[in-house]
Every structure is written in structure tokens, then in C-alpha cells.
Amino acid sequence: MPELPEVETIRTYIDEKAAGRRIENMIIYLPRLIKNRSGDELKQALTGRRITGCSRKGKYLFLHTDGAMSLLIHLRMTGSLIYETGKGEEIRAQRIIFMLDTGRLIYRDIRTLGCLWLVPSVGLTGIQGYDTLGPDGNSPDFTAAYLYSKLKTTHRKIKPFLLDQTQVAGLGNIYVDEALFLAGLRPSRRCDAISKAAVQRLCEAIHTVLAEGLANGGTTVRNFIGGSGKEGQNQSHLRVYGREGKPCLACGTTIRYVKLAGRGTHYCPHCQR
DNA sequence: TAACACCTGTAA
DNA sequence: TTACAGGTGTTA
């Protein structure tokens, strides 16, 4: 479920449930998900450590421990984290289980595209995608002035630019389509051809759609996600994503679906220019 | 910058 | 059977 609002929803939940818990053992069903260590090395480094909290940057989760090393997690397409107490049913597609002093933390992932890394608890992680993240799209650092300075120097199309995590972190396919609709911009618009006024609208639109997603506990599409206890509610608030063939909520024009930069893309041909 | 690769599951 | 899916790193 992984764009910024979904990852942040999981972060809140995990921070609440797992902070203060001690890792007593680990069951690693799929060690290849751990990208920079063997399963045994991960187990060695984390067993006996206490989880001190969970933070997030972009779409990455950082599970902090009281030891020298901590755990960095990227959920990719279908990863999720679940905290369980008691016996419980076996969860489908569980890939790694952290047995805690109270309950257990389960990394679940249907498509197994997710990534976990053992990283230093302090300082740079050495993980390229993480260390090079741009400002979070919902942070005060992500301003219209920043965005304009980046856009004016590149001829890329705006949608792939916004998906580039080194420019702005946390946006994915859903929230980019939603933000471009709110800003009235075609996904194929060239970055250097967007006016200052439109950049202002786009910056505000990004803050708006991320805040909405967060307020609604994230977006849940395709029932197999679920995960962190409860599903999000933002799917019923989407304006264009998944609405191809349906009327635009603003003007009634049929929402169009095209492929852009390899991603399914939804827009209103009348409202977005 | 586009295609492909990594995977599994579901819907057309 | 095929296309597609909330992502991203590598390769042509």
C-alpha cells in the first residue's frame, strides 16, 4: 500500500505497537528480501535488541533499535507490516516474522518485491535510494519556490518528474494523478513549460492530496492489501485515479486512461491542459 | 527515456 | 491467455 499516506499510516501504527518491544527471535522465510546481509547476519544483529520507534522518509520505513544497527524497509508494491498478539491464524504471504517479547511483527508481501536492509542506527545508511531522497511532498521544505527551481531546468514530462523520489519524496502513481488533476495540468506537460502560477497550484495540490490521503488513513485499492489492521478510506475520495470512463467530477468530460512512462495514467482532457 | 526485470495474483 | 497492478533499479 505504499505511497506516503499509506506508509505514514503504517508508521503510526507500528510506532504505537512495537516501540519498547524486544526482538527475541526471527523467522525468515524469504532471506532474499534482505538486500545487504544474509538472513543469519540480520538475525544476529537484531536479536536481543529493543525497538525504540518507527520513522518514515518518503516511502521508506526506519525501524529503530537500541543497538548499533537498525532496519530500513521499503514495501514496494505489496509489502505491509502487521502487529499480532496471541496465537492468531497463520497469515498468508508472511515472509519475515519478528518474535517480540509481547506479540510479533510480521512482514507480509504478496509479490515479494519489498526490500529490507540492515543499516547503521545513526548517520547515513549507505542505501542509495534512501540517502538521495528529496523533501517529502507534505513537508514545509517542499515549497513552490523549490519546485519551480527544479522544474525550470528540465524538459521532462511532469508526471515522471513527480514520480522521481530524488525530486520530491513520497508521491506514487495515485497521488501524482490526483495532484495533477487538482492543479489542472496534463501529465504529459513539459516541466519547463509550466508557469509560476501553475507551479504554485501544483505545489498546493500535492500538499492537499497527501493531507487528504493521510486524514483518510490511506488509499486501499484491490482487496489483497489490507495489512496494518484496517484499510484506508481515501479510495472513495479519488478524483481521477481508477475513474477512467467515468465523468469528471468538475466538468463531466469522460476521464481518460493512457500509458505514460510505463504507468497507467488518469486525467480529464478538458480540465487538465 | 524507454524497456525490462523483479514477483504474484486477479480480472478481462 | 494476457494485461495489469500503490515501485524502483538496471540496461539498451
Ramachandran angles phi, psi of A30, nearest 5°: -135, 80
CA distances from A222 to A90, A153, A233 (A): 21, 38, 13
Active site residues of A: 2-3, 59, 263
pLDDT higher at A226 or A246 = A246
In a domain, A138, yes or no: no
Nearest nucleotide (CA of A241 to C1'): C6
**Chain C nucleotides reached by a protein CB under 7 Å:** 4-10
Cβ A45 vs Cβ A66: under 8 Å: no
Interatomic separation, CA of residue A222 and C1' of nucleotide B5, rounded (Å):
23
The model's pTM: 0.97
Contacts of A141 (CB under 8 A, 6+ apart): A135
The parent domain of residue A238 ranges over 144-267
CATH of the domain at A168: 1.10.8.50
**Chain B nucleotides reached by a protein CB under 7 Å:** 1-11
Do A50 and A122 have their domain in common? yes
Do A148 and A255 have their domain in common? yes
Confidence of residue A226 (pLDDT cuts 50, 70, 90): very low
Average pLDDT over residues A167-187: 98
Residue-wise pLDDT for A92-115, tens only, equals: 999 999 999 999 999 999 999 999
